[in-house]
Chain A
Amino acid sequence: EDQVTQSPEALRLQEGESSSLNCSYTVSGLRGLFWYRQDPGKGPEFLFTLYSAGEEKEKERLKATLTKKESFLHITAPKPEDSATYLCAVQAVYNFNKFYFGSGTKLNVKP
């Protein structure tokens, strides 16, 4: 069964304290893995798509990496405005119309 597991469920960091969020996935043929940021009461905001193992994408303090079983979202020197829930989703090659989402990691960055 296709599924996505994110860890940790919640993460508290001090401003400037770098860390990583994990997304483990099981899918019968990965077409794409997606990272989103979601602020309270708002819709998810698209961050990155990764298509193949070894691929990396960067945006400001965020860097996403992909292996055959998991993806990491590395946050370097985070700021309080990076506080949000980060969601991971996968899409399978056999069904382009479906996205499987994890439960998310709630990140809190303290000044």
Chain B
Amino acid sequence: ETGVTQTPRHLVMGMTNKKSLKCEQHLGHNAMYWYKQSAKKPLELMFVYSLEERVENNSVPSRFSPECPNSSHLFLHLHTLQPEDSALYLCASSHPGLTNTEAFFGQGTRLTVV
């Protein structure tokens, strides 16, 4: 079992659809993140959950809705997306309270909005 698992790996959705991305971590971390990666841009931090509470929300449109039911699971609910939302969506986890604070990433979900 890999450290951070994302499903699905690929998703094509219409602008009127509703879908969800799922992330699960098996590293015992207590912080989880959603990042958006578009071509030739730095990773954009979308949301951060620490101890299951949202601690960062970087002006993300309301058509993206995160959910963190426990410290091992993170969801990103999508609805009424736009073509410019097509990107690689990455989930990561870390343990900020430890000496080793690096984040570990999942393989990402390649989202295409048509």
Contacts and interface: CB of A to CB of B under 8 A. Distances in A.
Contacts of B31: 96-97
Contacts of A46: 102-105
Contacts of A42: 107-108
Contact of A103 (B40, B90, B101, B102): B40
A111 interface: no
Contact of A98 (B6, B56, B90): B56
Interface in A63-111: 87, 89, 91, 96-99, 101-104
B55 interface: yes
Contacts of A99: 33, 45, 103
**Top-9 shortest CB links A-B:** A96-B96, A43-B105, A101-B43, A101-B42, A43-B107, A43-B108, A44-B105, A97-B48, A103-B42
Interface of B: 4, 6, 31, 33, 40-43, 45, 48, 50, 55-56, 88, 90, 92, 96-97, 100-108, 110
Interface of A: 4, 31-32, 34, 36, 41-46, 49, 87, 89, 91, 96-99, 101-104
Given A97-B50, A99-B45, 14 more contacts: A34-B103, A43-B4, A43-B108, A45-B105, A46-B102, A46-B104, A49-B100, A49-B102, A87-B43, A96-B97, A97-B56, A98-B45, A102-B42, A104-B42
